[in-house]
Each structure stands twice: as structure tokens, then as C-alpha cells.
Structure 1
Amino acid sequence: MRWIKPSLAVVATALLATSCSAGAGSTSGPGAATKDTSPLTAALGTEKESAGPAPAVPGARPGGTVNVYNTTDFRHLDPQKVYAGAAYNTSLLWGRQLTQYQVVDGKARLVGDLATDTGTSTDGGRTWTYRLKEGVSWEDGQPITSQQVKYGIERSFGKGYEVGPPYWPQWLTGEASYDDARKKYGGPQDGDLAAIGTPDERTIVFHFPQPQADVPYMAAQSSSSPVRQDKDTGTEYDRLPFASGPYRIAEHVQNTRLVLERNPHWKAATDPIRSQYPERFVFTFGKEALNINQEILSGRDGGADATTVSTQLSPELYQTVDTDPKAKELVVSGRQGAFVTQLMINNERVPDVEVRKALHLAYPRQQARQVQGGTRVGELATTLSSPALVDWQKYDLYPAKPEGDPEAARAALAKAKQPPAPLTYAYANTPVGQRVAQVLVEGFGKAGITIVPKPIDPKALLDEAHRADSPYDLFEETSSVDWPTPSTLIPFSFDGRANSDLNAARYRNGEVDKEIDRINQIGEPRAKAKELYGLEQTVMKDVPVLPFAYPNMNQLRGANVGGAFVHPIYGSVSLSWLYLKS
């Protein structure tokens, strides 16, 4: 997953306890006692656990309106385009998938959502079959069918959907790249996709050219959501998708306001994931982060009934929450799943590995973390992958001082083919972003590297940094794998054949690409993971990006909001379990 995305999932084909400290938040699950973190046990649920309803939230009561304050609107609402953590998390309110994560006591369990279970595999993993539950329906009461699930997945092949996950197109065609997959099938306009069968309205069968062990976890991605063809409004669907979850979209004024109301045709008995306690959710976009946090802490202007899914606790308020017991109770904290924050380098614009190594050695990580909030931001990172992944391997190929080492960086620059030109650093134009930019200018400057900061509207930063002709050399990004193995890290984020939406570093290494193809043929998940961890270190020798932190999530909930916890998969406050205390 690129960007603040998503998701991770869990290892395929078996129960697996991971070391994901992804969990818990200030409450480790619906109604649970307060904890700082909790290990995540990621497991495949049974058919019985997939049945519904969701576990009740102790003390929850129905009614009222929960306010959600975010600095910016979601990049996409179209389910086949959603590929960011906060949007994944929020879209659970109105969208359902074949599988999804049930959270109990801070631990995630993958269960059937629309499907009766997490899928049945035959033919050595080349064929996967799902059966839809009886009674699952759209917001107008019409039943959800297997053909509509198929149509939704077919959409992910279409033009404009390259912003979403590439897995269905690649897996179903057997092609290594999304672009090559689209040459074989370009979406619904090309007709029927033979690789997906729908023998009846409740059965969907996937046929893959190669074995695929991770299908149950891909089935939880937003792009596995059904879409009804008669409700597919094209680009307008990105603003107003048709609902299958406990809420439906009543109003969406982009970049301003999003209103959700209860979906009367959602049946709790079919849904083991979600609840429907509030009558409405009202999202407000465009406020500054500090203002959002101040309103929630003070309880004014609806703040007591509010939370956020994309805005972190402002550093200006750290002292307040550390010294005021009542304010501290409103902090929802937890490990941000398997996310890693990195200083991204555009390798096409900075092609010399010695220059990139110099940037790594000079990087003032400690100072950058301090101006963002100190140690509560997270642990400083040395790897591309997160410690939350199964069988994770710690390494530090080029040990660097946390505060930066200008002398070592100058020594690396002396080996470069030529001194680097001034490097442009794109950053979100916020108070925190401005402080980080100043730290980088000063820190890299000590090593003789000139940084030219370029402030960008926060709403546009990802698009600007990821577009193919981006003029920026550096930018900070927090992203995650799509499930807690390394199988979606190197093969998708550092594959030289991938576009800049996925391979944001524009890293190109033909030998790495060959190794990706070889390793992708390994069917046993943990054997595959071992090979990928080795390949990760090969990639890191080229210093394509600069690891910064394994981040924590610190967010606020209003004094009248109950059931708040950091979702162990999606890494932000989960809305599906919230209620108002009075």
C-alpha cells in the first residue's frame, strides 16, 4: 500500500500469530479496558465467526450524531480507487467486501463479510470459491449478487483505476505489471472477464494462472467491493458510491462536508464486522489540525461528540494532554499497524547511489521527530519493512547517527560522480510540515546538500509527488504493506516495471525485478517471506528511500464518544464501533 493506506492483512492459509504491535489504541477493542498497545493476533476466522452480528460494544447505546473532523476530504470514495488507510477505515461504514477484519479485544480476525467464510481453495491455490450470505442487500433493498462483485472487480482493470491496488488485474491475468494486465483485459467495456465465474447469484469463482495464497486478504480490500452496474455513475461514483454497509451517503459536498445516515436495509445478522449505533455521521473538512484538536478537547461547537480519522494530535497540545488528566483520557493511541514513514527519494532525479547514501547519513532524523512530537511519534526506523510483519528481520546496512552525520555524508558525496544540484523537498504546507522542512534545510545543509523546500497544499501533495512528471526530489510519506508479510512490499513498491503511483521512488533494478518474479512463484507464505526479506536488503543497498520511523497513531475523541480505539489493521480511530454516551 502506498501512502497512508492501508491496510495490511494476515498471512494466508492458516492461523498465524504475528508480532504486530498494531493494536489497540487507548481502548484495545470495543468496550475494552485502556491499554497503550496490544499485540495483534492475526487469524483466519471460521464460518461461524463470519455469520454476524458483530460483537456488541459494552455500554453502547443507539442514537445521536457523531461529528468527524478531518483536515482534508478523502482522496477517493469509489471502492475500486480507495487505497489509503483513513479512507479504507471510513468506507467500512457504507461499503462491504467479500471478507473483512473483525476486531475483538484489540486483535483482528479475518472473517467472511459478504461471503460466508474466507474462501475455499482448490487446484493448488489456482482456484478460489466464495459463497455470498443470504440477506445481504444494497441501500435500496435489492440483493447483492455474485455478478455485482465480479463487476466491481472488473472495474479495477479500467482506465483511471490504476490508483487502486493492482493485485486483481495482475493475479487474474498472470501478468507482472498492471499495464500488461490491462492489455489483456481493459475493464467492463471489454466484456466478460472469463477468469471470474459466477455459476449462480450467490457463488463467485476466481481462476488464477498461478497459485495465489493471499486471496482471502485481497478479498478484504476495498477494490473487492461489489458495484451495481445500473448505479455506476463513472467519475461521479467517486463522490457518491452506492451503499451496502450500515450507513448510506446522504450528502457529499467535496472538500467541505460528508453526511452519512443509517441504511435501513442493512441487516446486522449478516455482518460480523460493523455496528450501527449513531443515527448519523457528519464529516467536516478543511479545518486546521490544531483547531480540530482544540475543539475536541474543549468540547465546544460539537467537539464533545467528535473524533477524527485522519488528523493526529497536534504537538502544540502534547503538554496539555500530559498534564491534564481529563484531556489525557481523550487521547486514543496505538501502533499504526505495519506502517513505516520514509523520506522518499525520486531515484530518476537523484540517480547516484552515493548521493542517496549521503542523504541517508546526513538525515537529521532525531530533530525531525522532535519537531513532530518526540518519541510519541514512533521508533526511528532502519528498515523498509515494519516490525509488525511476520518473521521480520531487523537490519541496519549503513548505520547513521540519529542526529545526522555531516562528516560521513561529505565522505559519501566525495565518491559521487558529481556534486548534487539543489534538491527540492515537497511538503504539506502545515505548521508541522514547515517545521520539518526547516530541520531538513539546516541538517542537510551541514553536509553541503542544499534543500529547496516547496510547500504544497496538503490536499494535493500525494497527487503532486506521485505523478509521473513530478518535479520534486524528496517528500515524506507514511505507507504500509497490504497484509503483514513482505509479499506486497518489494514486489509492488520497488518493482521497476510499476508506475509512480506504486513505485513512488522510481526505483529501477532489473536484477531485483527478476528476483521478484522468481520469488512470486513460491507458494508457501513463510518461505516466500524469508526470500523477500533477503531481497529487501538487496534493495536497501541502493538506498532508494530513507527510513524514518515506525509510527504511532495519537488521535482524539470527544468526551461523549465511546468505543474509540485505533484499528489494528487500518491504523486510525475506527468509526464502526463508535457510540455517544448520552
Structure 2
Amino acid sequence: MGRTRKRFVALATSAVVAASLAACGGDGGSSSNDGVGNQEGQEVTEATKGGSITYLQSSVTEHLDPQRVYVGRDISNLGRLVYRSWVQFPSGTTDATEGTTPIADLATDTGTANEDATEWQFTLKDGPVWQDGEPITCEDFAYGVSRTFATDVITGGPNYIIGYLDVPTADDGSSQYKGPYTGEGQELFDQAVSCDGNTITYKFKKPWPDFPLAIASLRAFDPVREDQDKGDRSDLVPFSSGPYMLDGEWDEDSGGTFVRNPEWDGEEDTNRQANFDDITFEVGVEPETIIERLIADQGEDTTAIAAQNITSAQYNQITGDVAERAVNIQSPFTNYLVPNFNQIEDVKVRQALALATNRAAYIGALGGELASTPAQTIVSPDVPGHQPLDTFGSAEGGDVDSAKALLEEAGVETPYPITLTYPIGSASSENAFAALKQTYDQAGFEVTLDGLDPSGPYYETIQKPDSDSDLIWGGWGADWPSISTVLPPLFDSRLNLTANSNGQDYGNYDSDEANALIDEALAETDLDAANELWGQLDQLLADDVAYIPLDTTNFYYLRGSGIENYVNSVSTSGYPDLGVIAVAEDAQ
């Protein structure tokens, strides 16, 4: 995925690029990191209505189109402000189980599946309307999901539906349905997605038992009204079904303002509190400046929030009253390295790299335990089915002696040359990769650090199958609470490996055994049984050293003193929950 894809979210919010996450709210001491749901001190109460919020943001919002948005922050924000779907995650809860259990939104319930979960039905409520007062229809849902098949127009977003929906494929593996703009293969799509009054039926070619989780986690299944669709020109022109609507235009360089949607019915939609009157997204602010403004807490910044990590250089300023406005939680994003299988074929050399990986030094350079925690698998601890592995040795420092012994067993000449390719970040991120190099070199490697610009050359380089990078940094977070959105997107060679691109499989990993386990897990309708199979796959990947886990990023966010009802989402994002956040009465 490029900048528009989920992996860039992990990159942009990770300790590597932000390189600066930090202490917990309250006393500014040690953090509690047992999962996104552990948010000590956060509590939802009866909120004050009214007031204006400023959302300070450094990186651009590249998509407002529901089928194209694939940045966790924007998925979360748009789902609370602008777009509704069949189901959603509860807002305002800090309980991880409750927060990851879908509830009805536009549907009358959370959906009905057939016995093998290859068919799902949802029935639309009577009453909900678009921002112009026209009713939302079942056909709007069918049209919305059809847009993803127009892969030449609707780019950058998640495309799970293309792989699941029971639409025949062409000889080249692509769908025979080409989307609503050409209409080619429309009858094939209509057989797989059909409306009977207010009830829609989705027919899949393989079981999808957690389909409601996918709907709640992404915007890709949201309805779109055909007469409002302008194709790629709809990208920054949202048409609201939720409590807020865009006021004027969105400027991709500076942002925009959302105001109340007068057609939204808060009596019917009880999950979104819609407490504030309007919210202005101020885009393009430097990360350090965002934190400086929130620390100063003056003027409009008293009612400002941000999904921006505090830089390590600002840690010492988060004390006293400022610390009371800060929160430190474990994010959903895990960072890792992948050996290039085209370059390092000997498993003993890959194992030596894994054993020599000094997570303690890496994390220490990023800011210590307040920045992130060591990872023993690529699967984040908050994902159901996660199990720590002992394959990678110590969770802390690198084992230099054992790595040296493995290189001797491999019979390779030392020092063994390695090019480590990573995205350029702040000084602390540069120090983190330098710390990895130091231990690798001590173990018998000779590492060349190859830092590239993450906005372009980085992904262009690592996604080339013939790249001469030996060891490559990556970051990832689950698209919904399932390992199936972590391991297959990264290691299913049938999805990733082509003549011109390795997709997300930066290390060119290609294993028939892994692919067979993926197929078996995806065919399993019992989620617990499927998680056992995913665990077997993760162990296989670890044994092959298809990846080397580094750390799980912590989020350290600050807010203005005039913000109340502050909660971070506990589903798959960890971002501020705009469904309940409010402006204190004395700050209005």
C-alpha cells in the first residue's frame, strides 16, 4: 500500500516516523499497555451540547470518499461524523470486548448469516435520510459496495469485497465485474448483491463469519447514492448520512469544517452523541507545533484535540496540569522487519538476524517504554487470537553470541553484508536504526543503513521484487479485530507477488504451506478454530523468519483543557472518539 493505504497509517503513527510517543495521562508516570481498551481515567458522562472543536493535524486527509479512505484516523473520524453503515462499534466505551462488538446502525439488527457464513442479510431501518432529506435505500448500499470494483477509478481503499463476493473472475484473476461506471458484468454483481425491499443479500464465494466486524471497522461498505457519485471527483466531496456535513469545500492542504446536518435524527441514532456544534480540521501543522499549542492551551486551542504523538523532546513538559490532559495507550500498530528472501535464502542467516535484533536499544532510542513495547509477533496484542511467540529470543536485547554461532553454522563469510532499508524519520528514529545496526555488526553482520523518503521512494523501492534491500522495515495494524486482516495481506504470495510488485510482501515470501494454511483458516466458519489455524500460520512464518517483530507503538495524545468526555476508540484504532467528545460549558 502507498500513502493512501493502511500501512502508511502504521508508518505515520508509529514510533519510527513520529519517533515520539509518551507518558500516561494523570501523573505522567508509567503507562498501562494491556490493550487499546485500557484507558485509565477515561469516563463518559452526560455531556454538554454546543461549542466548537479544532482538530489539529499534520498529515493530509487524502480521501473523504467512503470506498477510498484507508487511513485509520480518517476511517474513525468519518464514521462518527459523516457516514453511517449497517452496523457500527459502540462509542464511548473503554471496555475492549464491548467496544469491538458491532451494534446496529442503519440496520434493524447486526445481520443474519446462513449456516456456513457465505450469505449475509441486513434489513434497513425506516426513517434515516441523507443530508438533503432523501431516504437512504437498500440500493444505496448495493451501489456503494459496487464502486470498489471500479479499480481504475476508486483507488487506494480496501478491496476485500472483490476477493469475497461471489462474482466470477477473468482469466487474469481480476473480477469480471468492472464496476458501475462501465457496467461491464453488472448482471454478475447483481446476482451476488441483491435488494428485496429494505433487505439486502450478500453472497460470498467463501465463508465470511466476521463480515459485520469488517463493516463496522471500514467505510468501504457504506452506502453511496448514485446520483451524488462523481467518480474520482467525489474524493473530497462527502455526502452525509451522519450528524455532520461539510460546510463549503475541503482543501487538501488546509482542511475544512463540518457543521451539524439538520436532517440527522439524534433520537433514532443514539450511538453518536454529536455533542459539539462544529469541528474544524486544521491540516498541515508541524507535529512539534501541535504539541506546543496544546501544552500552551490558549484561545481556540483550549478546545483542540489531535491524533498526534508527543515528540520525545517534549516529554519533560508533560507534567502537572498538562499531564492531566494527556493519555498514553497501546496502539493497534506493530512495527517489524522482513528479510528479503531473494537476497537471504539461508534460514540460518535469517535466524541470526532475528536473534541479533536488539529491541531494547531500538525502543530506548525512540523514547523508552513510554514510546512503545517490545513485540514477539507481528500480530498486535489487542487482536483476537494473538499469541506471543518465543521463536525470536529475548523480548529485550539482541543475543549476539547465538547469532554469531548461527552464522558459523551457515558457513557464510563474515562480516555478512546487509542493507537495511527504512523510512527516514526524526532524529530519534535515526538513532533507533543506528542502535539496531550496532548489535547486528557485533553479531557478524556489516549493515549499511539505507534511509528513504516515506512519501514516495520508500515504498516504490521496497515493493519492487528485484529490490536489493536485504532487511526492510514495515508497520501494520489490523483492518478489523481479526488476524485474517494481518497475516494474509502481508504473506499470501498469491495476493502480493507479481512481475512488477510484491504488494505488502516486501520480503518476497512465497510458501505453498503458508498459502494452504491461509486457505484452510479462511474456509473455517468457527472463529475460535480459525484463530488456532492463524496461530499455526504465525508460528510457520516465525520459523521461516518471514518477519522479525520490533515493537508495538504507544499513542500519547494531548488535548485542550476545554475538552470533556474524552475517550479513545477501543475497536481497532485508538483514535479520539468523536462520537462522545464534547466541549465543556465554560469553554464555549
Q: Deviations over 1:239-294 (max 9, x none)?
A: 22322221222332113223222222222123243222222211222222222111
Map of 1:433 onto structure 2: 429
How far off its partner does 1:216 sit?
1.3
Is 1:224 the counterpart of 2:221? The answer is yes
Q: How does 1:18-417 map to 2 (within 5 A)?
A: 21-31=35-45, 58=46, 60-92=47-79, 93-107=81-95, 108=99, 109-160=101-152, 161=154, 163-173=156-166, 182-188=174-180, 189=182, 190=184, 191-192=186-187, 193=189, 194-200=191-197, 202-220=198-216, 221-250=218-247, 251-300=249-298, 302-309=300-307, 311-321=308-318, 324-337=319-332, 339-348=333-342, 350-400=344-394, 402-414=396-408, 415=410
Tell whether the 8 Å contact from 1:425 to 1:475 is kept in structure 2 after alignment.
yes
Give the residue type in structure 2 aligned to 1:360: A
Tell whether the 8 Å contact from 2:6 to 2:72 is kept in structure 1 after alignment.
no
Judging changes above 3 Å, is the alpha-carbon distance between structure 1 residues 178 and 334 closer, same or farther for their aligned structure 2 residues?
A: farther
Map of 1:55 onto structure 2: none
Give the residue type in structure 2 aligned to 1:23: G
Give the residue type in structure 1 aligned to 2:230: T
Q: 2:116 is paired with a residue of what secondary structure?
A: helix
Find the aligned partners of 1:460 and 1:566 in 2 and give their Cα distance.
31
Judging changes above 3 Å, is the alpha-carbon distance between structure 1 residues 180 and 98 closer, same or farther for their aligned structure 2 residues?
A: farther
Judging changes above 3 Å, is the alpha-carbon distance between structure 1 residues 484 and 580 closer, same or farther for their aligned structure 2 residues?
A: same
The counterpart of 2:522, out of the listed 520, 523, 532, is 520
Give the residue type in structure 2 aligned to 1:103: S
Tell whether the 8 Å contact from 2:355 to 2:403 is kept in structure 1 after alignment.
yes
Map of 2:17 onto structure 1: none
Map of 2:562 onto structure 1: 560
Give the residue type in structure 1 aligned to 2:282: T
Judging changes above 3 Å, is the alpha-carbon distance between structure 1 residues 351 and 147 closer, same or farther for their aligned structure 2 residues?
A: farther
Judging changes above 3 Å, is the alpha-carbon distance between structure 1 residues 439 and 238 closer, same or farther for their aligned structure 2 residues?
A: farther
Find the aligned partners of 1:116 and 1:579 in 2 and give their Cα distance.
28
How far off its partner does 1:453 sit?
3.1
Map of 1:9 onto structure 2: none
How far off its partner does 1:393 sit?
2.6
Is 1:480 the counterpart of 2:480? The answer is no
Tell whether the 8 Å contact from 2:107 to 2:124 is kept in structure 1 after alignment.
yes
Q: How does 1:505-544 map to 2 (within 5 A)?
A: 505-544=507-546
Tell whether the 8 Å contact from 1:354 to 1:416 is kept in structure 2 after alignment.
no
Q: 2:360 is paired with a residue of what secondary structure?
A: helix
Judging changes above 3 Å, is the alpha-carbon distance between structure 1 residues 133 and 401 closer, same or farther for their aligned structure 2 residues?
A: closer
Q: 1:497 is paired with a residue of what secondary structure?
A: helix
Q: 2:89 is paired with a residue of what secondary structure?
A: strand
How far off its partner does 1:165 sit?
2.7
Map of 2:22 onto structure 1: none
How far off its partner does 1:104 sit?
4.5
Map of 1:51 onto structure 2: none
Find the aligned partners of 1:466 and 1:181 in 2 and give their Cα distance.
24
Find the aligned partners of 2:289 and 2:65 in 1 and give their Cα distance.
29
Find the aligned partners of 2:400 and 2:171 in 1 and give their Cα distance.
42
Tell whether the 8 Å contact from 1:169 to 1:181 is kept in structure 2 after alignment.
no
Q: Deviations over 1:345-367 (max 9, x none)?
A: 45445555444333322222112
Find the aligned partners of 1:87 and 1:431 in 2 and give their Cα distance.
27
Give the residue type in structure 2 aligned to 1:222: R
Tell whether the 8 Å contact from 1:80 to 1:153 is kept in structure 2 after alignment.
yes
Find the aligned partners of 2:240 and 2:70 in 1 and give their Cα distance.
18
Give the residue type in structure 1 aligned to 2:397: E
Give the residue type in structure 2 aligned to 1:134: D
How far off its partner does 1:394 sit?
2.4
Map of 1:3 onto structure 2: 7
How far off its partner does 1:497 sit?
0.9
How far off its partner does 1:454 sit?
1.8
Find the aligned partners of 2:270 and 2:172 in 1 and give their Cα distance.
37
Q: Deviations over 1:158-201 (max 9, x none)?
A: 215564333211111378x999663332222322412001112x
Tell whether the 8 Å contact from 2:208 to 2:525 is kept in structure 1 after alignment.
yes
Map of 1:52 onto structure 2: none
TM-score for both structures, normalised by structure 1: 0.84
Q: 1:541 is paired with a residue of what secondary structure?
A: helix
Tell whether the 8 Å contact from 2:478 to 2:486 is kept in structure 1 after alignment.
yes
Q: 1:336 is paired with a residue of what secondary structure?
A: strand
Judging changes above 3 Å, is the alpha-carbon distance between structure 1 residues 140 and 464 closer, same or farther for their aligned structure 2 residues?
A: farther
Cα RMSD over matched residues? 2.9
Give the residue type in structure 1 aligned to 2:381: P
Gaps of 5+ in 1: 7-18, 32-57
Give the residue type in structure 2 aligned to 1:513: N
How far off its partner does 1:490 sit?
2.3
Alignment length, in residue pairs?
Answer: 536
Judging changes above 3 Å, is the alpha-carbon distance between structure 1 residues 504 and 259 closer, same or farther for their aligned structure 2 residues?
A: farther
Find the aligned partners of 2:582 and 2:461 in 1 and give their Cα distance.
37
Map of 1:37 onto structure 2: none
Percent identity at matched positions? 26
Map of 1:42 onto structure 2: none
Map of 2:579 onto structure 1: 576
Q: Deviations over 1:199-232 (max 9, x none)?
A: 12x2211122333211211222210111122222
Map of 1:489 onto structure 2: 486
Tell whether the 8 Å contact from 2:297 to 2:561 is kept in structure 1 after alignment.
yes
Give the residue type in structure 2 aligned to 1:227: V
Find the aligned partners of 2:251 and 2:459 in 1 and give their Cα distance.
20
Find the aligned partners of 2:476 and 2:375 in 1 and give their Cα distance.
13
Map of 1:12 onto structure 2: none
How far off its partner does 1:417 sit?
6.2
How far off its partner does 1:445 sit?
3.4
Give the residue type in structure 1 aligned to 2:83: G
Give the residue type in structure 2 aligned to 1:334: I
Q: 1:184 is paired with a residue of what secondary structure?
A: coil
